[in-house]
Structures are given as C-alpha cells and as structure tokens.
Amino acid sequence: MGLSEILGQIDQEIAQLQHARALLAGDEKPAPRKAVAAPAVRKTAKKKRNLSPEGRRRIAEAVKRRWAEQKKRTGAS
C-alpha cells in the first residue's frame, strides 16, 4: 500500500467523521453519500534482475557445496 493510498483512506475517514459529527450536532441534514475517488496511483514495474552465466555457476557451486556438507554431517551416503 502506497503513501498516497494511505492518505486517501485517511481523508475518507476524516470526511465520514466530520459528516457524522455534523449530523449529531444537528448542523446538517443527511445527504446522499458522495464517493471520494482515490488518487490515481502509478505502479512502477520492477526491473527484472538478470544473472550472468558466471553468477549462475557460482550459485550452483555454492548450493552443491552446501548440500555436500549437509550430507556429510548427517552421515548419508
């Protein structure tokens, strides 16, 4: 949830509370509710992270070392 969405929700709650207060105080007649449009939020697409072949190879080797060590600790063949 973005900052602008949170602020929009807070503004809606404030408007509802002010309306309720005015009704209770007798200052205002009940009026049809108006929908408050949420501000347009532009979502940014996350960049896809690409690994180089060398990076993939290094990760694969690290995983193999990890599993080999774990196998050695448990005594599995």
Q: Two tokens at 14?
A: 């404030």
Length of the chain, in residues: 77
Indicate the pTM of the whole model. 0.36
70: pLDDT strictly greater than 60: yes
Q: Stretch 31-59: mean pLDDT, rounded?
A: 78
Q: What is the pLDDT at residue 39?
A: 64
3-state secondary structure the chain: CCHHHHHHHHHHHHHHHHHHHHHHHCCCCCCCCCCCCCCCCCCCCCCCCCCCHHHHHHHHHHHHHHHHHHHHHHCCC
Q: What is the pLDDT at residue 26?
A: 82
pLDDT, averaged across the chain: 84
Yes or no: say if 25 and 49 are a contact pair by the CB < 8 Å rule. no
Proportion of the chain above pLDDT 70, given as a percent: 77
Distance CA 19, CA 33 (A): 10
63: pLDDT strictly greater than 80: yes
38: pLDDT strictly greater than 70: no
